[in-house]
Structure 1
Amino acid sequence: MSDEQQVDVYPSMTVVKEFESEKADKIEPMKLGKRLKEIRMAHGLTLEEASKRTGLARSTLSKIENEQISPTFQAMQKLAGGLEIDIPQLFAPPKQLKATGRRDITRKAQGKPHPTTTYEHELLATQLTNKKMMPFKSRVRARAFEDYPDWIRHDGEEFLLVLEGEITFYSEFYEPVSLSEGDSVYYDANMGHMLTSVSEDDALILWVTAS
């Protein structure tokens, strides 16, 4: 192996220090004022509104955001309390949003069928893997509580919207409730639940399950 190749594999301390120095020059120091403004804007607050929440003068907030003054620890406590955040969040860089470009279109009646004894499911967006949500439409075939051998339970949370007809929504910790077209319910899917159709025709619902 030549000397030149050895430098590539085992860089000298001089090369390492020069690289670290160059890398350090590119790291932008954390600007508390900029971070504070990002948090305030994320909450949809004006300076005046943030002033009322934190108990700090509007002019003080403006000076902090413009890096004209540094807040005292007491001021940071007021900022954290008023903005309902933890103090470390004032120093944490904001998360960079990165679009993945994922998209899946399901045409009417072209979802993947998945019939059961109580429901006739139509799975939607089936081309996408590792989804954070599972959307599907279901015809509710069940007509009585006794049609189910046991409560349905699974991980995650669930949203249900009635598209057609009327259903009775049963859950183990609440009284049964009737839901008609346009009604919806959001619930913990670990809680036992089940549905029955009570309209003349089988009800149609949209379900979205999130892990």
Structure 2
Amino acid sequence: MSNKRLLKEPTQARTVELPDDPEEPISEDELAVCRRVRALRTERGLTLEALAAKSGFTKGYLSKIENGVKAPPIASLAKIGRALGQDLSSFFLDEGATSPDQEDDARISVVHHWERKPVTRGGTAFGYDYVSLAHKRAHKAMDPFIFTFPSRVDVDQYFQHPGEEFIFVLSGKVAFEVVINGNTRTWTLEAGDCVYFDSDLPHRGHSIDGDAQAMVVVQERSEQDETAAGA
């Protein structure tokens, strides 16, 4: 989910970037992600200005990420990754991920429950918490997370990013919204319910009456897929 505000008009919706929120301290796991953004950018010989032009984010926002001032939402990372030619998992890899001494076969990644990797906390990502479930494997077609919904969201805050997304509610109750052709559709999802959707549709969700968690699987759409879809 990327940090966009949806401004509703009579017949359509458009998005603009959110203004910066007050900075909050971020965790060591989030700092590792921020350092990874800088490392991948410098490996490719890109300046902040060049990455800003390719990703659509401002130089100032990217600088705050790289300096550990802001932890970006997952979909913002996906957008930065696309600009760097990297998939989302590149930001969460442990050192030695998928190496022979960790796994018998790089095609298999086992993550025990005590090995789960928190990557984004609610306070720094608009109320949404993510825990990566496949951080050991590089170059994945899908990125699975355990996701904790906030109890409330900004009235104008929606998220969208290229690709597809699957959400399976594990516990609690969720109000889930998707904007289609300028019209907002809302569903109440309970434990055991699920939704599969194109994540370039503006979307958001929040818990109802207590905590709610879900398994979220994000599949990024390649540039070739987008070209084919638009053909």
TM-score by length of 2: 0.44
Whichever structure has more helix as a proportion of its residues is: 1
Whichever structure has more strand as a proportion of its residues is: 2
Whose RCO is larger (CA < 8 A, sep 6+)?
Answer: 2
Considering only CA atoms, is the larger Rg found in Structure 1 or Structure 2?
1
TM-score by length of 1: 0.48
